[in-house]
């Protein structure tokens, strides 16, 4: 597929997601990086969003719970270029009923070339990168060219 670019603003739209066994770990990580995260627009799936907002006081736009469609809702936002980065404390050792949705979310994140951290170490590397607070151009699929060729 042909590529084009889009510019992420310095104020990123960041998705925060955690599987059940990782909600506390994500809460701790968000508290550690609260000063940086407060400079960005935050979104989170269901329970995770409510826990993070309560524990940190940060303004977080809530989505539906992951198993109830929140993963798909987030995937749609990524494909609409409304999310710039995703921090997903994913539990690779526990199967979840909505595992196909999780895989689809990770796939669409890759398709649309957004930075994704699936563990604490990577999340810390991502948020401390100088690019996190800067305007950045990224390559994305040229969906309009794709449609023009097919129609």
User: Has 47 been labeled as part of a binding site?
Assistant: yes
Alpha helix stretches (DSSP H) within 8-142: 23-32, 34-37, 46-56, 70-79, 99-111, 120-128
User: Has 48 been labeled as part of a binding site?
Assistant: yes
User: Has 66 been labeled as part of a binding site?
Assistant: yes
Task: Name the burial class of residue 138, with classes exposed (0-12), middle (13-18) and buried (19+) by CB atoms within 10 angstroms of its CB.
Answer: middle
Helical packing angle, 23-32 and 120-128, nearest 10°:
20
52-57 CB contacts, 8 Å cutoff, 24+ apart: 52/16, 52/26, 52/27, 55/27, 55/30, 55/31, 56/27, 56/30, 56/31
User: Has 110 been labeled as part of a binding site?
Assistant: no
User: Has 46 been labeled as part of a binding site?
Assistant: yes
Active centre residues (catalytic): 71
User: Has 55 been labeled as part of a binding site?
Assistant: no
64 SS3 class: coil
Cβ(13)–Cβ(84) under 8 Å?
A: yes
Residue positions in the annotated binding site for substrate?
19, 23, 45-48, 65-66, 98
Residue positions in the annotated binding site?
19, 23, 45-48, 65-66, 98
């Amino acid at each position: 597929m042909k590529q084009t670019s889009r510019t992420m603003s310095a104020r990123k739209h960041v998705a925060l997601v955690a599987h059940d066994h990782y909600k506390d770990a994500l809460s701790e990580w968000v508290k550690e990086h609260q000063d940086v995260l407060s400079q960005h627009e935050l979104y989170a799936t269901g329970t995770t969003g409510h826990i993070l907002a309560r524990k940190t006081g940060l303004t977080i736009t809530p989505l539906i719970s992951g198993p109830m469609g929140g993963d798909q809702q987030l995937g749609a936002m990524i494909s609409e270029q409304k999310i710039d980065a995703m921090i997903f404390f994913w539990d690779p050792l526990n199967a979840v009923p909505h595992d196909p949705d999780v895989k689809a979310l990770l796939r669409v994140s890759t398709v649309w070339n957004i930075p994704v951290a699936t563990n604490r170490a990577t999340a810390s590397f991502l948020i401390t990168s100088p690019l996190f607070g800067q305007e950045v151009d990224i390559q994305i699929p040229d969906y309009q060219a794709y449609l023009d060729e097919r129609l």
